[in-house]
Amino acid sequence: MTYIMAMRHIYEDANGGIWWRTTPSGSLFPWPREPGMLQALSRVDELDLFIHRYLVRSWILIGLSIMTWVGAGLYLHKVVKAR
C-alpha cells in the first residue's frame, strides 16, 4: 500500500525536490494516508521524505515485508510442528 501510494502521489522535480502532487499533504507514516484533492504541490515532511527516498525507492520496504512474512511463517510452522 505504501509503495503504490508513494508512486501515485509523490512527484520528484528536476532539482531533486520531492512533493505531494495534491494538497493538503498526505502521510506515509504510521499508516499511509492519501493527500487531499486540491491540485497544488505540497511539501513532503522529513519522515515521509526518508521513507520515500531510502525505503520505497530502493525497494528495501518490499524486502523487509517479505522477510517478515517468511519469518512469521517459519515461526508458525515451528509452533504447530512442536504441538
Helical ranges in 19-59 per DSSP H? 46-50
Spell out where the chain has E strands: 10-12, 18-20, 42-43
Q: What confidence score (pLDDT) does residue 16 get?
A: 87
CB 43 within 8 Å of CB 24: no
The pLDDT of residue 11: 95
- Tell me the per-residue pLDDT of 14-67, one tens digit each, with 9 for 90 and over: 998 999 999 999 999 998 999 999 999 999 999 999 999 999 999 999 999 999
- For the chain, what are the domain ranges? 2-82
pTM over cut 0.95? no
Q: What pLDDT, on the 0 to 100 scale, is given for residue 61?
A: 93
Top mean pLDDT of 3-7, 65-69, 79-83 is at 65-69
CA distance 14 to 25: 20
The phi, psi pair for 75, rounded to 5°, reads: -65, -45
